[in-house]
């Protein structure tokens, strides 16, 4: 049995927790400590704050889920001035063993290690995720993360991608017009421009322009609240359209990756957990021509674990050090 620290570092928040690993499996994840990255000059200072809050010596083993590229001598967050230099981990943090993975790769590791209670059903058959084969993981939030998990009988492999940045293909005349509106702001319109937290605002403003209707909700939080509560008809229409586009994209990723199941993650996936099953998500997910029956037989779930990034970072460490 070994005790490690796990960190999930994003642009706005950094989360830390202690994790217990036994026989290569994460058996416990402690209560998380969350700090705002803007309040600390560096990861090292946030790490030290974590030690102060747990009132015990920090472990010498650390797993980090990092919202940015993880290759090279200097790791830079996409939306945060912090940097991490792996070569200096022991000197700066007192860490002897560590694993650093991309934040969405960590979600895929979490899917590999979580039990069925960590998911809610969206569509398709209500069965457990397959023990062998490919699981597509789609994570809309601030951006759109896409990965695949390849499960085998005694191991698994995580394949991180930048699938959220593929071109968005409109599927009906209204979406053709939405694309035309978005092209006035973006040289290239990717799926992430629509299937993300900001994507709802992009759709909302495009619909307002197309219908020549006033759109007064400019704050993303207020817009999401109005859309989910149905208090603004244009916001509600934008959310319905987002769910259609989300379903089509998730189905495309599953087809491209040869998946047997799909897991939806990210803050937006969790926020829509009750809304998606009654939206047009399923209709667009399965609308793949000759493959419609196959798609309709594919389970789609939302991960509802409260800290999949932390759990996934710990799982990545457990996998990398399974023989130690």
Same fold, 2-114+305-320 and 163-303: no
Q: Which CATH architecture has domain 2-114+305-320?
A: 2-Layer Sandwich (3.30)
Q: Is 172 annotated as a binding residue?
A: no
**Domain 163-303 class, CATH top level:** alpha beta
Residue among 111, 116, 21, 13 at smallest CA distance from 63: 21
Q: Is 10 annotated as a binding residue?
A: yes
Tokens 């006033």 — which residue?
214
pLDDT tens sequence across 49-95: 999 999 999 999 999 998 888 888 999 877 778 999 999 999 999 99
Kindly report the pTM of this predicted structure.
0.91
Mean pLDDT in residue range 114-123: 96
The confidence band for 267, taking pLDDT boundaries of 50, 70 and 90, is confident
- If one compares 79 and 151, the residue with the highest pLDDT of the two is 151
Domain coordinates of the chain in residue numbers?
Answer: 2-114+305-320, 163-303
Q: Is 145 annotated as a binding residue?
A: no
Q: Is 133 annotated as a binding residue?
A: no
DSSP character string of 83-151: EE-GGGHHHHH--SEEEEEEHHHHHHHHHHH--GGGEEEEES---PPPSSEEEEEEEESSSEEEEEEEE
Q: Is 46 annotated as a binding residue?
A: no
> In the prediction, which pLDDT does 68 show?
80
- If one compares 290 and 12, the residue with the highest pLDDT of the two is 290
Q: Is 99 annotated as a binding residue?
A: no
């Amino acid at each position: 049995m070994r005790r490690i620290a796990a960190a999930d570092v994003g642009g706005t928040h950094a989360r830390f927790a202690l994790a217990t690993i036994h026989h290569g499996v994460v058996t416990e994840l402690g209560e998380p400590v969350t700090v705002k990255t803007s309040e600390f000059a560096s990861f090292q200072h946030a790490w030290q704050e974590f030690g102060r809050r747990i009132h015990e010596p920090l472990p010498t083993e650390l797993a980090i889920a990092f919202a940015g590229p993880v290759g090279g001598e200097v790791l830079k967050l996409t939306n945060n001035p912090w940097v991490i230099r792996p070569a200096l981990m022991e000197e700066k943090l007192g860490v002897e063993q560590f694993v650093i993975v991309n934040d969405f790769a960590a979600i895929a590791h979490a899917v590999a290690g979580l039990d069925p209670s960590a998911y809610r059903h969206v569509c398709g058959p209500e069965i457990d995720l397959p023990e062998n084969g490919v699981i597509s993981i789609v994570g809309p939030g601030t951006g759109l993360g896409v990965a695949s998990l390849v499960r085998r009988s005694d191991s698994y492999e995580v394949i991180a991608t930048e699938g959220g940045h593929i071109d968005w293909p409109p599927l009906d005349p209204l979406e053709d017009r939405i694309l035309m509106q978005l092209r006035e702001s973006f040289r290239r319109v990717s799926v992430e421009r629509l299937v993300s937290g900001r994507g709802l605002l992009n759709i909302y403003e495009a619909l307002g322009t197309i219908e020549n209707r006033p759109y007064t909700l400019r704050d993303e939080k207020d817009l999401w609240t109005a859309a989910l509560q149905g208090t603004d008809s244009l916001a509600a229409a934008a959310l319905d359209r987002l769910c259609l586009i989300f379903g089509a994209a998730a189905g495309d990723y599953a087809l491209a990756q040869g998946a047997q199941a799909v897991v939806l993650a990210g803050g937006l996936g969790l926020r829509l957990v009750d809304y998606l099953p009654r939206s047009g998500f399923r209709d667009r997910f399965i609308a793949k021509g000759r493959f419609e029956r196959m798609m309709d037989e594919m389970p789609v779930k939302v991960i509802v674990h409260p800290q999949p990034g932390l759990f996934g970072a710990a799982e990545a460490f457990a996998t990398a050090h399974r023989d130690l």
